[in-house]
Structure 1
């Protein structure tokens, strides 16, 4: 019975830590810009674009890329939170 004692201690200690509270999940804002529209269908973001290549690029950049810029810094923010930012050059 002694071999199970460390496992029981680890289980009890892990249950004593409070659960971490997560931020709100990321959602694209619904919007329209020229011939483009970003909307949700069955909880999935759908981007509809039309026009010339320049118009399509501007619409995708404005409706999809600009709001998601915080996703690009996710890895670095996670490393900062874990006090491991010095490992950033490895990524």
Structure 2
């Protein structure tokens, strides 16, 4: 049900995350990043984003995750965020891509 993400709303309220953005990364992951992967950290991480509405855990190729995140960053607009939020609700209700 993705209810484990609910506490992240506190991070949105305190400004360390946004509702929509890239998937948060762990510090040990950052050390393994190649230069083109670092584009993912150009914006605040979000509770939801392109990865979550494009297959979530069904997407296992990290390069695909990076592509989705950089596509989001390059094409960002308020309408895209609204679309992703709507798709997130539908994805969660349908339980698509969750492990």
TM-score (norm 1): 0.23
Q: Which has the higher helix share?
A: 2
Q: Which has the higher strand share?
A: 1
Higher RCO (CA < 8 A, seq sep 6+): 2
